[in-house]
Amino acid sequence: MGIKFLLPAICVCTWITSWLLTESSDGLARITLKKQPLDLKRLNAARITQEGLDSNVNDQEAGVIYLKNYLDIQYYGEIGIGSPSQRFSVVFDTASSNLWVPSSKCLFSIPCHLHSRFRASSSSTYTKIGIPCTISYGAGAISGFFGLDHVKVGDIVVEDQEFIEITKEPFLPFLIAKYDGILGLGFQDISVERANPLCRDFTSEFGGEIVFGGLDWRHFRGDHTYVPVAKTGYWEAWEVNLNLSFKSYAMLNVRVCKFGCAAILDSGTPLIAGPTAIVDEINRAIGAEGIVSLECKSVVSKYGYALWDNLISGIRPEILCVDVGLCSYNGSQRARRKLKTVVENGTMKGSALGETPMCTFCEMIVFWIQVQLKQQKTKDIVFQHINQLCETLPNPIGKSFVNCDYLELLPDITFTIGNKSFPLTPHHYIIKVEEGCSTVCVSSFICLDVPPPRGPLWVLGDRFLSAYHTVFDFGNMRVGLAKSAN
């Protein structure tokens, strides 16, 4: 991502996967983002939701906004606020419009004490505005008040920039975050209290050509495809559809919106969110399943035939799972209680597959086999039915997992934006997470249902933006996409 300014006061933000804001020989300033690795716990806890608009957001026609909890943030960079400059690590977020950092007046929120805090008394250029505000996120709300000071991004200094000094933060995600705050690069329409976004202030303060990131031919291949911004507020492209293809033939061609969908391009999440019916179809086509279903099928695959053979040979059902080493003791009532706990909590205790859920699934599978045997079903039909039962188990954490060994066999998923195709390979839309000594592969597709007239709506996060060099053009109110050179 970066921002480029051309006469007459055009602001262009371009997303690339790494940037460091320095002046270079070609006249461009670059920012290199630091990368925070994702772990499975934070990725599972990450959420994108939608709710009614807050009254202090000036976009009443929108009807809804979508919220995220920033637990899955990976990329952040450094800015300075005040004179002399006080350094802060921030997320450059194209789906929000306010700049905020913790304040030295944040005394009773533990996360504030673990991050850099702005000290107004140490800045000679600070002006207190004092207007209180609250911003809602998926994990809770932050609150504070507005101030005014110089903001430095690399060698660029914006004078008298409005920002929020945070005095209260929720415990998560900011307790574990490596960044201090958020720098919103969206439009003023969704800015709390209509505060001027930083990029808007750039265009009003400077003339000529100023670069913050910028268009660097080394970061993309070919020409950009530009589409108009559908509605100010978020960076939205219009007429978005998608299809899946296996090699040379089409697997799924979905046109979910009669007159086209909108898509928010969001640098503040690695996820890709869309309508439930379509996301479920995508995850089904790529073999992605909820963690509970995946673990259930794992037990079926590894132990199902052995359990069948032992039942047929006359071994007592209540000791089967003990014999195969999945349970330390038996008890069908315990199995049902623990399956209920796994489904409701959406967690797997212990190892990657966890002994307790493995035992629970084993006992449930034995029970299912017994029921099918009484109906005199054949072996193949029984296990087909059991796998179908596994698929019906709830997915409480909302994330879907795939087998990492089969990534090369997965289809490309192609978004069509402005009559141009933008394919994503499995290496783009699958998130690999190191978990202990193993690697877990997670589908980046999650469900987000936004009702009309604002929806249906897609959110294209870092998994999309890392594949395509993205230009956010304030001056011409458009978004440009080109193939990334990376």
Nearest of 193, 223, 75, 173 to residue 133 by alpha carbon: 193
Q: Rounded to whole angstroms, how far apart are CA atoms 65 and 67?
A: 7
The HSE-up count of residue 388 (CA atoms within 13 Å, CB side) is 7
Radius of gyration of the CA atoms of the chain, in A: 25
Residue-wise burial string across 126-138, b where 16 or more C-beta atoms lie within 10 A, e elsewhere: beebeeebebbbb
Residue-wise burial string across 401-412, b where 16 or more C-beta atoms lie within 10 A, e elsewhere: bbeeeeeeebbb
Both structure tokens of 424: 């994503």
Among candidate residues 93, 149, 201, 473, the one labeled active-site is 93
Q: Is 287 left (phi over 0), alpha (psi -120 to 50) or beta?
A: left
Q: Rounded to whole angstroms, how far apart are CA atoms 168 and 180?
A: 13
Q: Rounded to whole angstroms, how far apart are CA atoms 199 and 197?
A: 6
- Checking DSSP bridges between strand 272-274 and strand 445-447, what pairing results, if any? parallel
For the chain, the maximum distance between any two Cα atoms, rounded to a whole number of angstroms, is 86
Both structure tokens of 384: 């087909």
**Cα distances (Å, whole numbers) of residue 118 to 113, 130, 144, 207, 238:** 11, 15, 12, 29, 39
Q: Are 431 and 441 in contact (CB under 8 A)?
A: yes
Among candidate residues 149, 180, 266, 473, the one labeled active-site is 266
Q: Is 412 a catalytic residue?
A: no
Q: Is 93 a catalytic residue?
A: yes
Residue 366 backbone dihedrals phi, psi, to 5 degrees? -60, -45
**Residues with active-site annotation:** 93, 266
